[in-house]
Amino acid sequence: MDAVEKRRERPVRNADARGRLPGSRPDSVRATHTQAACLGLLGPIVLLGLGLTGIVVEASSPAAFATSPLPPRAATLPVGMWTNVTPAWSPGAAIWPAMAYSPDVDRVVLLTDGANGGQTWMYDLASTNWTQAPNGTASPGVRALASMVYEPALRKFVLFGGHQIPAPGAYLGTNDTWLFDPTLETWTNVTPLVSPPTRYGQAMAYVPDTGRIVLFGGNHMLCAYCYQGGGFVYSLNDLWAYDAAADTWTNLTPAYSPVADGLPNMVYDPGLKQVFLASGIDGSRWLYDPARNAWQQIGTYISRPQTGNSATAYDAAVGSTVLFEEQYFGSLVNYTWYFNTTSRTWTNVTTFAAPEPRYGAALAYDSKAGVLVLYGGRNYTATLNETWLYRPTPPPRLFAFIRVQPANGPAPLIAAFRGTASGGIGPYTYAWDFGDGTGAWLAAPTHAFVAAGTYTVRLTVRDSVENATTASVTMTIGRGTAGAFGVSLAVGTPWSIGIVTAAAFVAAVATYWILRPRPPPRVS
């Protein structure tokens, strides 16, 4: 049994006694969905009793997700699940380490933080083993929250900034630039005279079209012994480009830029040939076009995922940015999200077996194996040294459908709706907007349209991991009897059943009176 299979036998540590993950819906919520679904069956039963007939209209609106051909993968890893592959010999506990992958040597390189003296380690996914590199005569030393990317033209890793810790609680920012040669396993300080100001927590991404590395944001300090959260630390929103061949930094900051951010998340999207940024401050999303040196905001503030204190990488296997969410309103979490820049939507693909909640982990993408590598971080009590692998799969698309009978007619019109969903991760919740200022929260509500007009009925379906999609259908209601009274059966079902039953009784009596048998006429 290999190391991967052994790790798969480990119990899930972050589930409770009933097998539920933190943040999962309690049993009472599931019971509510069941009761609502039962109530939703009353509407169609009443309509059948009245003998209403009509056409059936269906509408669907899938949450589209573009995929690309999958590269070769590590065959032993389960698809769409995290696997703990921590070997016996590995880097020590690390928080906010710098990590990146080189396809040329097929290794992930990790620079650990102060707990291990700034050691350099290399990870081989094929053997699932870490090996320590002899830093040589020079190395970046003890630091955290530095940025590191691979520069394929030079076949070297580029590291910039981060904070050193010369004394407990003191944060000394740096602005030095280092190159690591994975073949020779040596570091070289190449800091040019003109460099970005000192900082830590910044984001970097390599842009193949320009052959340069772009850097954004981070935290800047004005003194050598500044405490985080004090008056001497502030966030930045400047943009710099580094040409490794020429060893030059250039300030490219446009007039229109994202908000100053101390912990941004940034990756290069090869499909768009632009840099994607998820703000760690306000959750906004941006695209940077290196050809025009311009930022474009593509999304406003969203509550999920919270992108601060998160680990991010671009996954070429599904053509999407992957974010390992680590904090939600002050609590540690362990959710896995995909962001599709085409549909501009986040999709939660969290599974039951995931790394325990933490912050300060590093994430890199092994493009040859098509696997994400996550290392380190800190939970509520300790700094971790775990190695986790994630073999990606396209998130399940969520579909919503509407069936309505009848779809049109004179007012007042009583229509039976049924919402269905597929894909995503069930169970589902349903929210209806009937277009007349009313709504319902059942899978199959019945609604009365009192006034004539055209109504757009919308259904929003949400799955158990907060993915959502919508479907809509148009209702055409003609003029009917003046002064007629209608009621939404989804709100007042018992009372309305009585009204409908009474109306059916009156109609039956009237029909009998007209068609009743009569004696033959008398012959005089």
Q: Pick the range with the lowest mean pLDDT from 113-127, 141-155, 324-338, 489-503.
A: 489-503
Predicted pLDDT of residue 67: 32
Predicted pLDDT of residue 315: 87
CB 156 within 8 A of CB 180: yes
Does the pLDDT of residue 199 top 80, yes or no? yes
Does the pLDDT of residue 55 top 50, yes or no? no
| φ and ψ at residue 28, rounded to 5 degrees | -65, -35
Q: What is the 3-state secondary structure (H, E, C) of 473-517?
A: EEEEEECCCCCCCCCCCCCCHHHHHHHHHHHHHHHHHHHHHHHCC
Residue limits of CATH 2.60.40.10 in the chain: 28-63+399-515
What's the average model confidence in pLDDT over 259-283?
A: 90
What's the average model confidence in pLDDT over 352-381?
A: 92
Q: Taking the alpha carbons of 213, 214, 217, 220 in that order, is the dihedral positive or negative?
A: positive
Q: Which residues contact 383 (CB under 8 A, 6 or more apart)?
A: 93, 94, 95, 115, 360, 376, 377
Predicted pLDDT of residue 385: 93
Q: Taking the alpha carbons of 168, 170, 171, 177 in that order, is the dihedral positive or negative?
A: negative
DSSP 115: G
Q: Which residues contact 282 (CB under 8 A, 6 or more apart)?
A: 259, 301
Tokens of 174: 């740096």
Written as one letter, the residue type at 479 is: R
Distances in Å between the Cα of 157 and the Cα atoms of 164, 183, 261, 276, 328 are 20, 11, 24, 21, 32
Helix (H, G, I), strand (E, B) or coil at 60: strand
pLDDT band at 138 (very low <50, low <70, confident <90, very high): confident
Query: What mean pLDDT value characterizes the chain?
Result: 77
Instruction: Return the ∠ at Cα 130 (arms to 124 and 132), rounded to 5°.
Output: 120
Task: Tell me the pLDDT tens digit for each residue of 440-476.
Answer: 999 999 999 999 999 999 999 987 666 788 999 999 9
- The pTM of this model reads 0.64
Predicted pLDDT of residue 14: 38
Predicted pLDDT of residue 234: 84
What's the average model confidence in pLDDT over 244-273?
A: 94
Does the pLDDT of residue 30 top 50, yes or no? no
Domain 28-63+399-515 top-level CATH class: mainly beta
Does the pLDDT of residue 2 top 60, yes or no? no
Residue with tokens 């999958």: 70
- State the maximum Cα–Cα separation within the chain, in Å, rounded to a whole number: 133
Round to whole Å and give the CA distance between 299 and 292. Answer: 20
Answer whether CATH 2.120.10.80 is correct for domain 82-390. yes
Task: Tell me the pLDDT tens digit for each residue of 75-94.
Answer: 567 778 899 999 988 898 99
Round to whole Å and give the CA distance between 375 and 110. Answer: 9
Predicted pLDDT of residue 98: 94
Does the pLDDT of residue 325 top 80, yes or no? yes
- CB atoms inside a 10 Å sphere around CB 104: 11
Does the pLDDT of residue 317 top 70, yes or no? yes
Predicted pLDDT of residue 217: 95
Does the pLDDT of residue 185 top 70, yes or no? yes
What's the average model confidence in pLDDT over 250-276?
A: 94
Q: Which residue has the higher pLDDT, 146 or 58?
A: 146
Does the pLDDT of residue 262 top 70, yes or no? yes
What's the average model confidence in pLDDT over 358-365?
A: 94
Q: Which residues contact 443 (CB under 8 A, 6 or more apart)?
A: 36, 37, 40, 418, 419, 420, 428, 430
Helix (H, G, I), strand (E, B) or coil at 49: helix
Q: What is the CA radius of gyration of the chain?
A: 30
Predicted pLDDT of residue 518: 59
Tokens of 5: 């299979």
DSSP H/E element including 8: helix 3-8
Q: Percentage of residues in the chain with pLDDT exceeding 90?
A: 47
Round to whole Å and give the CA distance between 114 and 97. Answer: 9
Residue limits of CATH 2.120.10.80 in the chain: 82-390
pLDDT band at 29 (very low <50, low <70, confident <90, very high): very low
CB 177 within 8 A of CB 187: no
Does the pLDDT of residue 356 top 80, yes or no? yes
